[in-house]
A and B are shown apart, each in its own frame.
Chain A
Amino acid sequence: MTKDGVQGAAEETDQAQSKKGLKKQQKEAEKAAKKAEKQAKLAADQQTTDEDDFAKDRYGVSPMVQSSQRLDRVLVRVQELTLEKSDQLIWVRARIHTSRAKGKQCFLVLRQQQFNVQALVAVGERASKQMVKFAANINKESIVDVEAVVRKVEQKIESCSQQDVELHVERIFVISQAEPRLPLQLEDCVRPEGEGDEDGRATVNQDTRLDNRVIDLRTTTSQAIFRLQSGVCQLFRDTLMNKGFVEIQTPKIISAASEGGANVFTVSYFKTSAYLAQSPQLYKQMCICADFDKVFCVGPVFRAEDSNTHRHLTEFVGLDIELAFNYHYHEVIESITDTMVQIFKGLRDKFQTEIQTVGKQFPSEPFKFLEPTLRLEYQEGVAMLREAGVEMGDEEDLSTPNEKLLGRLVKEKYDTDFYVLDKYPLAVRPFYTMPDPTDNKYSNSYDMFMRGEEILSGAQRIHDAQLLTERAIHHNIDLEKIKAYIDSFRFGAPPHGGGGIGLERVCMLYLGLHNVRQTSMFPRDPKRLTP
C-alpha cells in the first residue's frame, strides 16, 4: 500500500469516528432528557401519591426500638397460624424470606425460625398502590411487624410450613432493615446436594457458609440441627439425673495433660504455663474419690490435634460420665449404653420433625439400635475384619477406614448402628486404664460406635495408687505434675469407670451427616478461629 492510501484510509476513519461521535452525543443528550423527564414525573408522582396515599399510616420504617414505649400488642408466632385462627386480625413479627410483586399484588413469605407463612399485600380498601410497592421493595431478611387477617386458602401452599392459611396484610412496618445484598442466599444453603445442578442453581460450599454462619444458622436445616442438639443435652441430663447422678463443673485450665502430652494447647499462666483440658478425666475421677459416686459433666474439651478431617474439631462439647461400680466394669458399660439408648429413643419420639427437616437436605437411613446394646470384644471385631480380608495385628489400633468397615459388617450382621467394642489392647489406651485380669495385653476398656464412627472412649480406671504410678512411669509421665491426681487414690478409692462422648459427633452420626462442622454452631478447627 502507498503512503497516500494509508493517509486516505486514516482520514476516512477520522470522519467516520466524528460522525459516530456526533450520533453518540445526540443519543446521550436524548437519554439525559428522558431521564430528567422521568425523574420529574417520579417526583410529581411522589408528590401526588404522597398527597393522595390514603394508606400512608399503614406502612413504613419504624423508628429504632429503643424501648421508648411498651405496646400492649400480642405478637402471634408463625407456628400458631393455623385454621383455628382464620378470620382473626393478628400481629406477627417475622423476617421477609422472599417477596414477589405482581402488578397490584405482592406476595411475601414471612419466616420465623423454621416456620413460614405466605402473606399477601393487595391494592384495595386497606392497602394503596404505594403500600404494595413499599412492601415489594423491603430487602430480604429484614424484620417486619405485620398486622393481617388470617384467611383460609383453597389450595394448600406447598412451599410453606403453614399450608392451610395465608395472611392478608393490613399494616406492615420494618423493624430492622437488612442490607440489600446478602453474602449468600438461604435457598442455596438448604438445597440438597446434586439437586438443581441441571438448572445451574448453586449450592453453597461449607466454608462460605461457615464464614457467614449467622445467616447459615437461619436455614431450616440448621435450626433443626441445633434444636436437636439441645435435645441431646437435655435428654443426657434428664436420664442421668433420674439415675441419681450429680452434675459437676471442672476447671478447663489444668497443670498436666491427661491423655498424653502431644495434643494439648499450652496457655501462658502468669509466670508459668498451663494446659487446656483435653477432658475432665482427672477431676471426675477425683470426685469419685470424694464420694460423689456418680457424676457427669457437660463442657468444652480441647484437642490440639492438627487433623483436618470431617470429624475432628479443636474445641468441642464433651459429655462426660464417671461412676463407681460394685464388682465388674460392665455395670458401667450398661449404665452408659442405657443412657445412650434413652437419648436415641427421646430423639426418635420428640424430635421427629427436626429429623425429617434435616433429612430433606441430607437424606439418611433412620438410626437403628438394639436393646440391650450389642457388645463385641475387640478380638471378635478383629476376627470379623480379617474375615473380610483386612490384615491387622492383634494389638494394633483400629484405623479409621477399618473402624468404618467394622461398623458396616456389624450393621450387616446385627442390624444396629450402635454397638460397644470391649477389651481394647492395653498398649493403645491411656495410662490410667485398668489392665485385663486374665491377659495383660488387653484392658478393661471400650469404645462406643455410631454408624461405624467412634463417639465414646471409656474404661475401668486404676483406683490403686501403686499400680497407677507404675503405669504412669511406663508411659513416661512426669509424676510430679500428676501428684495430686495419684494422691487422691491413697486414702481409699472405690472401683470406678466412665467415658466421654463428643456432643457434635453424636448429633452428626445420629442424623447421618458427613461433617462435624455441621453440628457445631461456631466450629473451631486448625484452620478456623472465626466467626
Chain B
Amino acid sequence: MALKELSSLEKALGLKKPNKYSTQGDKKVPVLQRSNGPALSGLVTIATYLVREANRAELLGESAEHRAIVQQWLEYRVTKVDGCQKEDIKTILKDLNTYLEDKVYLAGNQFTLADTLMYYGIHHIIVDLAVQEKEKYVNVTRWFDHVQHYPGIRNHLPPVVVLKNRVYTGSHH
C-alpha cells in the first residue's frame, strides 16, 4: 500500500524519474535505497524527502507554526490512522470532523503534504461510509472531496461520491 502511495505522491509532485522502493519487516515499512547516500525508511521520512527533491518545500508548511502542524498530522497519520481498528474509526472521524470545522486544509488555508498523506491514509475508511455517515462527518467529507479533486492527487485511488446536498436533515430516523 505504502509503495503505491509513494509513487502516487511522486506523480503528484511532478517528479519525472520514479524511485524504486523495497519494504522492511512485518509492517512493510517502505525503504528508499539511494545511489548517492544512506537508505531512507518510513513513509513520512521518504515523503518529506520527495517534497524537497521536487523543490516544493512549501508543502511542508511556510511558517514555523505551519511546519509544526504539518508534522503533527503526518505523525497522526502513521500512528493513529494506519492499522487502526474498527472501533477507532469513529473516534478518528469525530476528531477530524471537529478539527476541520473551520478549516479548508489540515494546516489551515494552505494545501500541504499532510492533506495528501491523510487523504491516502483515510481513503479506505471513507470508501466504506454510508451516505448517512458521510453526512454525519460533513467536514471530513467536504475536505476529502476537496483533496480528491485537487490536481494530480487522486491517481491510483477510486473516486468517492460525495453528495452536495444534505438529505438527512430532518429528525426522522
Q: Known interface pairs A388-B131, A514-B173. Does A408 touch B161 (Cβ–Cβ under 8 Å)?
A: no
Q: Which residues of B contact A451 (CB under 8 A)?
A: 172-173
Q: Which of B91-99, B105-113, B163-171 contacts A (4 or more CB under 8 A)?
A: B163-171
Q: Which residues of B contact A404 (CB under 8 A)?
A: 173
Interface membership of chain A positions 448-462, coded 1 if the CB is closer than 8 angstroms to chain B and 0 otherwise? 000110000000000
With A363-B171, A364-B171, A451-B172 given, is the CB distance from A405 to B131 under 8 Å?
yes
Q: How far is B132's CA from A390's CA once the two chains are assembled, in angstroms?
A: 12
Cα of A283 to Cα of B165 in the assembled complex, Å: 46
Tell me the chain B residues, 136-173 only, with Cβ under 8 Å from chain A: 160-163, 165-168, 170-173
Q: Which residues on the A side are within 8 Å of B163 (C-beta)?
A: 388-389
Q: Given that A388-B161, A388-B163 are contacting pairs, would A408 and B171 also be in contact in the complex, using a CB cutoff of 8 Å?
A: no
Instruction: Tell me the count of chain A residues lying within 8 A, CB to CB, of chain B.
Output: 18
Across the interface, B172 reaches (CB within 8 A) one of A364, A387, A388, A389, namely: A364
Would you call B167 and A412 a contact (CB within 8 A)? yes
Taken together as a complex, chains A and B put the C-alpha atoms of A514 and B170 apart, in Å, by 14
A408: which B residues are within 8 A, CB to CB? 131, 167-168
- Interface flag for A231 (CB, 8 Å): no
* Contacting residues, chain A, for B161 (C-beta < 8 A): 387-389
Taken together as a complex, chains A and B put the C-alpha atoms of A382 and B166 apart, in Å, by 19
Q: Which residues of B contact A387 (CB under 8 A)?
A: 161
Interface of B is mostly: loop
Check B64 for interface membership: any CB of A closer than 8 A: no
A412 to B168, CA, bound (A): 9
User: Chain A residues near B173 (CB, 8 Å)?
Assistant: 404, 451-452, 514
B130 an interface residue at 8 Å Cβ cutoff?
A: yes
Cα–Cα distance between A390 and B170 once the two chains are bound (Å): 22
Write the nearest CB–CB distance from A361 to chain B, whole angstroms.
13
The answer to whether A401 and B130 have CB atoms under 8 Å apart is yes
**A472 interface hit (Cβ, 8 Å):** no
Interface string of A362-383 (1 = CB under 8 A from B): 0111000000000000000000
A514 to B172, CA, bound (A): 9
User: When A389-B160, A389-B161 are in contact, do A365 and B130 touch as well, CB less than 8 Å?
Assistant: no
Please tell me if the beta carbons of A365 and B131 are within 8 angstroms of each other in the complex. Answer: no
Chain A contacts to B: CB under 8 angstroms: 363-365, 387-390, 401, 404-405, 408-409, 411-412, 451-452, 512, 514
Q: Which residues on B are within 8 Å of A, measured CB to CB?
A: 130-132, 160-163, 165-168, 170-173
Instruction: Show 9 A/B contacts (Cβ-Cβ < 8 Å), sorted by A.
Output: A365-B170, A389-B131, A389-B160, A408-B167, A409-B167, A411-B170, A412-B167, A452-B173, A512-B171
7 tightest A-B contacts by CB?
A389-B161, A408-B167, A412-B167, A365-B170, A512-B172, A364-B172, A388-B131
